[in-house]
Structure 1
Amino acid sequence: MQVSDNAQRKRFGLAPRWWIIALITLGTILNYLARSTLSVAAPTLKTEFGMTTEQYSWVVLAFQASYTVMQTVAGAVLDALGTRIGFFVFAIGWALSNMAHAFATGWMSLAAFRAMLGATEAAAIPAGTKTVAQWFPPKERPLATSLFQMGTSVGNMIAPPLVAFCILAWNWQAAFLVTGALSLVWAGVWWLAYRDPVEGKQVAPADGGAAKPATRSDVLRSRSFWAIAVPRFLAEPAWQTFNFFIPLYLVAVWKLDLKSIALWAWLPFLAADFGSLAAGLLPPWLMASGRSMLASRKITMTLGSLCMVGPACIGLATSPEVAIALFCVGGFAHQLLNGALITLCADVFDSRTVGTASGMAGTSAWVGGMLFTLLIGQSADVLGYNPLFVALAGLDLVAAAVLWGLLRNPAPGLRRAA
């Protein structure tokens, strides 16, 4: 269903696109709250089900594998059905899948529910990127992207105190039921409040001058796609390690209990919010200083990569407080560089193709995250976490080099209006 510009203004006010990105941000918060429920509950569930770290890594991998495959599918579905219908269907799916975790009886059934959750949560980032491409001009895209990207860290930030409260007040099952129910409520709000922009009256032309949107094959043959997809493959392991393993690291290395995890584990994600904000503010400043649009994204991504030296030094930490501080540097760094990479999809692909391109780049990212999770499962109990944190920093520096080496102006058939 589409509505006139006047109806949009009446519904959302004079700047409907900022209300829309606020709604996307809230959905992203609840998406990441749902997926982060497991990491906070992991110490409890390891005891409940007698799980080893390797078995827990397989549970995480079940989520990552289905998410990886479905990122590409979700992007294509969003391009085919439109953001409103597509995102609504996926939101209902992840809400119910998350609530189903409460019925797990062991690590294998938990892995099955994680796979369901991964398959349905995969639409969040492609939906946000597509919305930015549809509604925002180039100078506003970094800030718009950073706002919905902040939802990823806010969701992770809320999870430790909320999930710990549910477990301590009721039981671990309640944590999954509560976080899933919140997503159900948001899905209803999304359906009632969101409308796609009127065809032909988007903020920027939909096709960037091309006669028809690029196909998936066109995207895969594009140098610009690989300039985004390869760095995302190399950078994503850091964020997924922070998402899924910080509580286990704090228990294994510093012997913290659930209350202490609730007190400390949200701080890296608060720092990540500032990284997201910086990813939105730095590129426009660089452009105002004479840098090109693409150069502003490259510089932002590189600064984030350099900051990853912080978590590489976690092995030198002398207390859990120092370790958390270095995780905070890592959270800031990753969201700074990732904001630039996600924005690039909206920069170089037209709005009818950006969901597909973003989804495929997301699949590349999650393949990297999945492989690194497998490495953690096989080596953390033997070698410890410290070498893994050093490796994460090295991967991000390589990612920056790849971005500078590959990214050029996109081909005319793929480029959106600048």
Structure 2
Amino acid sequence: MKAELTAAQGDALGEKLHGHNRYRWGVLAICWLGFTLTSVDRSAWGPSALFIGQDLGVPLASLGVFATAYYAGYVFSNVAGGYFSDKIGGRALIAISLIGAGIFMVLFGSTKSSGVGIAVQGAIGLFAGAEYGAGVKLLASWFRPRELGKVMGIYTSATALGVLIANTIVPRLINAFDWTTSYHTFGSISIVTGIICYFLLRPGPVRIEVAQSGGSRSKLRVLAGNRNLMLLALSGFGGFWGTYGFVIWSNTLMVKERGIDHTVAGLIVGIFAAMGIFGKPAIGWFSDWLDGARRVPAIVMLLMFTAMLIVFGLLQSPLEFIIAAPFLGLAAYCYLPMIVALVPRLVGSAMLGTAAGMVNALWQLGSTLVPLAIGGAFAASGNSFIAAFAALAVGPFIGAIAMYFVNERPEGSRTEIDETAELAKT
């Protein structure tokens, strides 16, 4: 039975969730671990790119093709994975995502051909992209909307942690062994984690209802007609353009154009990423404290991100980069929990997996297009370091403008109790 959530029922739901408190935080921990591993799988490319290019005979200007192939697969599977998470549930989809991505990570570590490597990178992205929408749907079934700031802050900190792990561990694995070791190692861990996820995850009792126009139209058409959701998609596109453009290109640009050792460059990007690990939960918690306000904090972070990218492009020495990295990382990651936490409020539970996958696919288009765009800007400007970072800064600036027009509290939104939900035994 479903019932509109009154004050008394809200208390009842709170008691129900409190009774499963350890398990629901366990769900968050497991989803976070899975998202961390798909983020490591994605971020391993940055510190490995120069060595992979040398091994496979790929010139520097063409290395972006590998990252673009990954993100092309990632974008496609975000839409498909979100749809299937609404159909078959998040547990199975998270397991398939991690196991599939892990298998192809291992295969990429064994490839000897650039053509095969590009195709395998696309396959890694195809499987990895399915995890995100399923994770958001599961978490929104265990936590009420007013709690989702801190929850999505913790969950999305996985993307920053993935970058930190990749940029601290992968260079050391390369020094001790070679670039293939990191792909074999993290691929194997992803496979094991996927199996764990399948046996431990269950959906929760929270359901969010939002009035949708569109009648009998398909889910994607209904969601495409949701003005707030599309503005949110544009805002995330701009943010991801800056964040993942930096992750993909910064190591190579600092090494080639500023003469920084690749291990030091990895340290700089690791510091950048570390701010997301701590900053995302903190700002998510802060937005919960502001009665669930997400829009204004997101705008502030996107504008700060724009400014810091310009500043970073003007720097010269390793010390300057190390000092600037935490400020850039704070801005580059901390808009994300706000925009993720807005999705359930804008669309409701019935289409949440599809919506989360669709908007993340649109966000990831920024990640897909930016490797080639920054490479082109870099080449067209005569290998200008500042021109590359100015091109990155365009993304978050557009994102801030789009976020300004989002209505974060649409009419007709309500939370309900699903008494028939399959709850874990605690």
Select 2:98's aligned residue among 84, 88, 91: 91
Aligned match of 1:173 = 180
Is 2:108 the counterpart of 1:101? yes
Q: How does 1:165-244 map to 2 (within 5 A)?
A: 165-197=172-204, 202-203=205-206, 205-207=207-209, 215-244=219-248
Shift of 1:265: 3.0
Give, as a single letter, the amino acid of the residue that structure 2 aligns with 1:115. G
Shift of 1:127: 2.2
Match of 1:417, SS?
strand
1:210-236: CA deviation from partner (whole Å, max 9, x where unpaired) = 899982221111112112111112211
Aligned match of 1:410 = 410
Shift of 1:325: 3.2
CA distance in 1, matches of 2:152, 2:144: 12
Contact 2:240/2:364 (<8 A) preserved: yes
Aligned match of 2:296 = 299
Aligned match of 2:286 = 282
Contact 1:279/1:335 (<8 A) preserved: no
**Unpaired stretches in structure 2, ≥5 consecutive residues:** 1-12, 417-426
- Paired-residue identity, %: 21
Aligned pair count reads 397
Is 2:346 the counterpart of 1:361? no
Aligned match of 1:290 = none
CA distance in 1, matches of 2:237, 2:65: 20
Is 2:271 the counterpart of 1:267? yes
Give, as a single letter, the amino acid of the residue that structure 2 aligns with 1:254. R
Contact 2:167/2:269 (<8 A) preserved: yes
Contact 2:377/2:387 (<8 A) preserved: no
Contact 1:311/1:327 (<8 A) preserved: no
Q: Structure 1's 80 and 311: CA in aligned 2 closer, same or farther, altered over 3 A?
A: same
Shift of 1:358: 1.1
Give, as a single letter, the amino acid of the residue that structure 2 aligns with 1:253. E
Give, as a single letter, the amino acid of the residue that structure 2 aligns with 1:260. V
CA distance in 2, matches of 1:206, 1:307: 32
Q: Structure 1's 37 and 217: CA in aligned 2 closer, same or farther, altered over 3 A?
A: same
Aligned match of 2:258 = 254
Give, as a single letter, the amino acid of the residue that structure 1 aligns with 2:252. L
Aligned match of 1:59 = 66
Aligned match of 1:371 = 369
Shift of 1:208: 5.1
Shift of 1:155: 1.1
CA distance in 2, matches of 1:334, 1:242: 9
Aligned match of 2:5 = none
1:244-269: CA deviation from partner (whole Å, max 9, x where unpaired) = 12221221122233433444331110
Contact 2:95/2:194 (<8 A) preserved: yes
Greater shift in the superposed pair: 145-154 or 300-309: 300-309
CA distance in 2, matches of 1:209, 1:406: 17
Shift of 1:406: 3.9
Contact 1:133/1:347 (<8 A) preserved: no
Give, as a single letter, the amino acid of the residue that structure 2 aligns with 1:386. I
Give, as a single letter, the amino acid of the residue that structure 2 aligns with 1:299. V
Contact 1:156/1:243 (<8 A) preserved: yes
1:95-141: CA deviation from partner (whole Å, max 9, x where unpaired) = 11111111222332221111001111112321232123211112210
Aligned match of 1:74 = 81
Contact 1:142/1:284 (<8 A) preserved: yes
Q: How does 1:336-355 map to 2 (within 5 A)?
A: 336-355=334-353
Q: Structure 1's 226 and 318: CA in aligned 2 closer, same or farther, altered over 3 A?
A: same
Contact 1:222/1:410 (<8 A) preserved: no
Match of 1:103, SS?
coil
Greater shift in the superposed pair: 267-276 or 142-151: 267-276
Shift of 1:408: 5.6
Q: Structure 1's 410 and 324: CA in aligned 2 closer, same or farther, altered over 3 A?
A: same
Shift of 1:390: 2.4
Aligned residues: CA RMSD: 2.5
CA distance in 2, matches of 1:259, 1:216: 44
Greater shift in the superposed pair: 391-400 or 233-242: 391-400
Shift of 1:9: 9.0
Q: How does 1:312-351 map to 2 (within 5 A)?
A: 312-351=310-349
CA distance in 2, matches of 1:259, 1:405: 42
Q: Structure 1's 190 and 245: CA in aligned 2 closer, same or farther, altered over 3 A?
A: same
Contact 2:245/2:392 (<8 A) preserved: no
Q: Structure 1's 115 and 338: CA in aligned 2 closer, same or farther, altered over 3 A?
A: same
1:184-243: CA deviation from partner (whole Å, max 9, x where unpaired) = 11112111211122xxxx13x354588999822211111121121111122111111122
Is 2:38 the counterpart of 1:38? no
Contact 1:213/1:353 (<8 A) preserved: no
Contact 1:79/1:356 (<8 A) preserved: yes
Select 1:146's aligned residue among 118, 139, 153: 153
TM-score by length of 1: 0.88
Q: Structure 1's 100 and 365: CA in aligned 2 closer, same or farther, altered over 3 A?
A: same
Give, as a single letter, the amino acid of the residue that structure 1 aligns with 2:399. A
Aligned match of 2:27 = 20
Contact 2:32/2:158 (<8 A) preserved: yes
CA distance in 2, matches of 1:122, 1:416: 29
**Unpaired stretches in structure 1, ≥5 consecutive residues:** 288-292
CA distance in 1, matches of 2:254, 2:113: 23
CA distance in 1, matches of 2:151, 2:216: 26
